[in-house]
Structure 1
Amino acid sequence: MQSTLECTGDGSVCFRGHPASKKHTGKWKASSLTIVCLFCSYVAISSISKNLVSYLTNVLHETNVAAARNVSAWQGTSFISPLVGAFMADSYLGKYWTALIFFTIFIVVSATSSLVSIDPQVWPVWSDTISCQHIILFFGLYMVAIGYGGIKPCVSSFGADQFDDTDAVEKTKKGSFFNWFYFCINIGSLISGTVLIWVQENYGYGIGFGIPTFFIALAIGSFFIGSEIYRFQIPGGSPLTRACQVVVAATRKRKVDLPDDSSLLYEFDGKTSAIEGSCKLEHSSEFRFLDKAAVISSDEELSDPWRLCTVTQVEELKVIVGMLPIWATGIVYFSVLAQFSSTFLEQGRTMNTQVVGGFAIPAASLASFDAVSVIFWVPVYDRVLVPAARRLTGNARGLSELQRFGAGLFLSVMVMAAAALVETRRLAVAHAGGEMSILWQIPQYFLVGASVVFACVGQIEFFYNEAPRSMRSLCSALALLTVGLGSYVSSVVVTAVDWLTTRGGGVGWIAEDLDDGHLDRFFWLLAAMSALNLVVFVYCARRYKCKKVF
């Protein structure tokens, strides 16, 4: 039997259910396997998403507007489905088993979907816009989105779980985990955006969409072989049920007076929380109405969780409610970021793709330059900016999660401004009878990568660290949900702009022939949205108060 000093202090257990050993489980040797798993998964999903707009327009003959709308909606689904996986993980199955279930869905459907990407001539056509291939392909794509969506919050938070929050050294390393996790998945993005897209362009979409199945198999293998060295957090029951209990109990006691002394509020005796796998949270002064759920008005309430809740249970809900304004600003950010896989590609396809030696760069491959930017910025941030910022701020992480997120939002304004300037110049060159090199898109993709390193990593680290321990998968899924909702907002904005600018017979800003449109105005609109979103974020961030644990 291991002594207490040899075990982790966060309540994690090993694969057999015993307290996890600090020496033999977790840390980088375990988390690195989850990074490999996420790398392979991302190669698979991004090799589909990066060239999907080209497949829809070139093979299925959809319009630019329809392709951009369909890609945005599909991406949105892949980032909304994590809520299902996260709920299962936090409530009942745990992150490990939930990930394996969704991996099974991912690999089976991916293999099936690759078959329907073969030459559309072999599929029956029912109308000018709908074919059997359309229906089966989109069904497969949405099932792939669900499979990948269920994996991502579980594996990423599971990797972070390999570091003990109660150990100062391991807690610092957890911050680096998120940096290198993004570093590796962007290497995967680079591979898929160059090698695999080249395969799709030159050997057909059947082979190009079949390769992801192989990478999913590698992901499953790398995840499974680490079972004996992983640390597992025990599921704490349904977080949604606990949140509803707080709301119901507080509403029932809406006429009850709160005590002046917060120590009189109900809390579980002892040092551990009544919630399995969690820790106690200190009482906070925000959202005082919810505190009424923890007021003891009779002894009979002690056995009824719908009438009396612990302070920690109330604080869990307060944490989630408090994070919502920060969460909302992420939606606008990701609606802007969604352009690099839709309108940026359409912009690139109108440009001269020939470079040195007559080599042609597919527009979808240049989109992978944002991955090069991330690969550049992650080590610079982790090894240069963090130590420098640490000396200035005294924060072990260099910048706080919110400061990092805010810097990324500022860079998103620069992204759209750069894209708008390039498009203005491209239109001028095109109207003069010339053709602008696609390499002019590099600055906007480089800024996208820098923005991702600051905003995306900062956001997911913020939601993971601020989340109650028993709700980390759910909060990671909430962070991913902003990506999904951002994609839907992007789809709505594209549709609204197209409707408004084509009224009266106009060609519209996003025209079939972009030389006749004004994509630059669309980019300036998104730049203005980003600037306004940054102002709202700064206001919300200044008012936010971090959680406190015992």
Structure 2
Amino acid sequence: MAEAGMRNRGNREEYTMDGTANLKGSPFLRSKGGRWSACFFLIASEFLERIALYGIVPNLIVYLSDVLHKGTVAAANDVNNWNGTLLMTTLAGGCVADAYLGRYWAIFCFTVIDLLGMCSLTLSVSLPSLRPKPCISPNEDDCRDQTKGSQIAFFYCSLYVVAVGAGGRKANTTSLGADQFDEFEPKERAQKLSFFNWWSFAMFSGVLFACTVLLYIQDNISWLVGYIIATSALAFSLLSFMAGTPYYRHKKPHGSPFTRFAMVLVAATRKWKASTSIPSVELYELDSEQYLKEWKQRIDHTDSLKFLDRAAVKNGSDGPWRLCPVTQVEEAKRIIKLLPVFFVTLMPSVTIAHVLTLFIKQATTLDGSLGDHFSIPPASLISLFTVANLITIVFYDKLVVPMLSNKTGNPRGFTLLQKIGIGQAMHIVIMLVAFKTENWRLRAAKSHELPSTVFVLLPQFVLMGVAESFVGVGKLEFFYDQAPEGMKSVGSSLFWVSMGVGSFLSSILLSTVVEVTTRHGGISWIQDSLNESRLDYYYGLLAVLNAINFFAFLVVAKHFVYNRDVVLEGDEDEETAMLKMALAEGNEATSPSV
């Protein structure tokens, strides 16, 4: 036994133990890459991609209003619907990666699509035939009539190509980055805990650059120069990603996750009368060696969602749609377990959607002057959100986590749901602050006695950035961490899908409020002129909805049971260790050189 332990420990130092391989499919020699050396290229690529995307997103409502002459509600809804589509596309991107292409090739293909869309968008703001002419009429309806349908169609078509490319890429970049750390190696497992924080740091650093430098160029020099820089950043993002190819660890596609999930539901439904009492019935499961040959993790049976256990009951039936192994059943259970958390974390996504729409629209009504020669572009206020997010991430990772981990014994400091809960509670406070600020702004606009500086919006932008470092980063890590091994990209995409659904719900809520408040001759809370609106009432409504949602989140979090699959140092049995070692040695002997 001692000899086997020594051999296994020696094998851990040679090859990764989580089934990762190089691009040719050979077992991955640990010294050849992975870890932070591989993540450097991925993080640099993500930084540049954020510059490209946020060279468009923050100023999009301004472009739709000022160049395409859209009204406030229509422009806000268009931004929310486009952003929702982009984020919903992550689910398709995750499925394509997990089932067919793998994460590396999925990222490559979707980034190319994204680049084509960015080139098309750049043409739409540069060619006179594709860009609406400046309108000098004070009547907005006259300006809208001058805009050609073909110009609008080309712009929106380009925009949605970007949504498909950027969304498909999003689902896989975090998962590929997390794959660079071997869960079975204690040092790498510890490094992985910081990965999501630093990944988010890189993303928001790119956002910060875009929201300061690029937005200033678009507002004060030209839209064309700003879009050219954004497109160039995406091209360099692709080059950075490809430069790291020799260092990446890869996990093989496990087949369509939705097919495996559907098999369990169908098999359980077909045998709905079957008994699931254990040990009176035998549940079907593959042996450990078969899982290890495919570098998959076997999942032990749990007592939750017992209805699904019928899919693994042996009663003479055979075939994948009649009988599923226990591990496949447990995978389905884990996806279902994530759904309640998914639904009770939608409301913060609804709230944060307003940062890109109504928050910026508020800023356009205020004075952004800094001296006589410089004025802050309204969309650049997102940089306040970003700076607050970056500072909080670093503060949390370097100070809070070490302090709390010593007291709680949790290497993350807070549990993932506690971290999300802190951010959710902050959203209630943020909307109350936004309510008070907008009420003050309206009084200032009507009385002309109070200064109308744009910096009155600073608290709501800053607090939103702090909250997102908890709820956003926490959700991203939670859905990846708690997803089954073969569905990690889908797990990560659940975070982005929750943001996308939040954008769509924001659009629906905005339209519903307008419809309800205008009934029986009433005045809409949100109008093209914000000085005639009651946006403060709308923010108050959001505070109430966030409070109700927070209590629902507490109920779900209290009853959630975390998965624990990772084999800690010393936990692995001798048989499993020897099987892994033999498989790694056998694969090395029969596969191309590493």
Q: TM bucket by the smaller chain? A: over 0.9
1:368 paired residue number: 383
Alignment check: 8 A CA contact 2:281 2:313 kept? no
Alignment check: 8 A CA contact 1:277 1:470 kept? no
- Tell me the SS of whatever aligns to 1:443: helix
Instruction: Give TM-score scaled by structure 1 length.
Output: 0.96
1:84 paired residue number: 92
Alignment check: 8 A CA contact 1:281 1:315 kept? yes
1:380 paired residue number: 395
1:515 paired residue number: 531
Give 1:329's match in structure 2, choosing from 344, 348, 353: 344
1:104 paired residue number: 112
Alignment check: 8 A CA contact 2:124 2:130 kept? no
Further displaced range: 449-458 or 197-206:
197-206
Deviation string, structure 1 residues 322-379 (Cα, Å, up to 9, x no partner): 1101011222110100011100011111111113455211110112210011111111
Report whether the alignment pairs 1:494 with 2:510: yes
Deviation string, structure 1 residues 288-343 (Cα, Å, up to 9, x no partner): 01001111112x62xx1111111110000000001101011222110100011100
How many pairs were matched up?
Answer: 546
Alignment check: 8 A CA contact 1:278 1:468 kept? no
Compared with structure 1, are the counterparts of its residues 529 and 120 closer, same or farther at alpha carbon in structure 2 (3 Å cutoff)? farther
CA distance in 1, matches of 2:280, 2:297: 18
CA distance in 2, matches of 1:532, 1:196: 38
Report whether the alignment pairs 1:543 with 2:559: yes
- 1:44-59 matches, within 5 Å, as 44-59=52-67
CA distance in 2, matches of 1:122, 1:40: 27
2:585 paired residue number: none
Letter in 2 for 1:194: T
- 1:334-373 matches, within 5 Å, as 334-356=349-371, 358-373=373-388
CA distance in 2, matches of 1:425, 1:187: 32
2:155 paired residue number: 137
Alignment check: 8 A CA contact 2:482 2:563 kept? yes
Cα RMSD for the two superposed structures? 1.9
Report whether the alignment pairs 1:532 with 2:539: no
Q: Which runs of 5+ in 1 are unaligned?
A: none
- Tell me the SS of whatever aligns to 2:187: helix
Give how far 1:120 is off: 6.0
2:411 paired residue number: 396
Letter in 1 for 2:206: G
Report whether the alignment pairs 1:257 with 2:275: yes
Alignment check: 8 A CA contact 2:388 2:463 kept? yes
Report whether the alignment pairs 1:286 with 2:304: yes
1:312 paired residue number: 327
Give how far 1:442 is off: 1.0
Alignment check: 8 A CA contact 1:40 1:218 kept? yes
Alignment check: 8 A CA contact 2:16 2:27 kept? yes
CA distance in 1, matches of 2:295, 2:235: 31
CA distance in 1, matches of 2:301, 2:557: 20
Give how far 1:124 is off: 7.8
Alignment check: 8 A CA contact 1:236 1:277 kept? no
Compared with structure 1, are the counterparts of its residues 122 and 337 closer, same or farther at alpha carbon in structure 2 (3 Å cutoff)? closer
Higher-Rg structure is 2
Alignment check: 8 A CA contact 1:507 1:516 kept? no
2:442 paired residue number: 427
Deviation string, structure 1 residues 364-395 (Cα, Å, up to 9, x no partner): 01122100111111110001111121122110
Compared with structure 1, are the counterparts of its residues 123 and 395 closer, same or farther at alpha carbon in structure 2 (3 Å cutoff)? closer
Deviation string, structure 1 residues 207-244 (Cα, Å, up to 9, x no partner): 22222210111111111111111100011111111111
Report whether the alignment pairs 1:448 with 2:455: no
- Tell me the SS of whatever aligns to 2:126: coil
2:83 paired residue number: 75
CA distance in 1, matches of 2:185, 2:335: 25
CA distance in 2, matches of 1:256, 1:183: 51
Give how far 1:490 is off: 0.4
- 1:227-306 matches, within 5 Å, as 227-261=245-279, 264-271=282-289, 273=291, 276-298=294-316, 301=318, 304-306=319-321
Alignment check: 8 A CA contact 2:130 2:154 kept? no
Compared with structure 1, are the counterparts of its residues 262 and 48 closer, same or farther at alpha carbon in structure 2 (3 Å cutoff)? farther
- Tell me the SS of whatever aligns to 2:275: coil
Alignment check: 8 A CA contact 1:271 1:280 kept? no
CA distance in 1, matches of 2:500, 2:28: 35
Letter in 2 for 1:249: A
1:4 paired residue number: 11
Give how far 1:203 is off: 2.2
- Tell me the SS of whatever aligns to 1:531: helix
1:469 paired residue number: 485
Give how far 1:521 is off: 0.6
Instruction: Give TM-score scaled by structure 2 length.
Output: 0.89
Compared with structure 1, are the counterparts of its residues 120 and 542 closer, same or farther at alpha carbon in structure 2 (3 Å cutoff)? farther
Give how far 1:483 is off: 0.5
1:410 paired residue number: 425
Deviation string, structure 1 residues 153-205 (Cα, Å, up to 9, x no partner): 11111001100111222112112110011111111111111100111112221
Letter in 2 for 1:428: R
- Tell me the SS of whatever aligns to 2:375: coil
2:140 paired residue number: none
Give how far 1:276 is off: 4.3
Give how far 1:261 is off: 2.3
Compared with structure 1, are the counterparts of its residues 430 and 262 closer, same or farther at alpha carbon in structure 2 (3 Å cutoff)? farther
CA distance in 2, matches of 1:391, 1:419: 37
Deviation string, structure 1 residues 51-107 (Cα, Å, up to 9, x no partner): 000001111111111111100111001100111111110001100001111111111
CA distance in 2, matches of 1:340, 1:279: 41
Give how far 1:507 is off: 3.7
- Tell me the SS of whatever aligns to 1:104: helix
Letter in 2 for 1:4: N
CA distance in 2, matches of 1:201, 1:307: 61
CA distance in 1, matches of 2:496, 2:130: 37
CA distance in 2, matches of 1:398, 1:263: 42
CA distance in 1, matches of 2:564, 2:285: 15
CA distance in 2, matches of 1:175, 1:418: 33
Report whether the alignment pairs 1:181 with 2:237: no
Alignment check: 8 A CA contact 1:89 1:98 kept? yes
Letter in 1 for 2:430: V
1:114 paired residue number: 122
Letter in 1 for 2:332: L
Alignment check: 8 A CA contact 1:249 1:308 kept? yes
Q: Taking every aligned residue pair, what percent have the same amino acid on both sides?
A: 36
Letter in 1 for 2:383: S
Q: Which runs of 5+ in 2 are unaligned?
A: 1-7, 134-143, 568-594
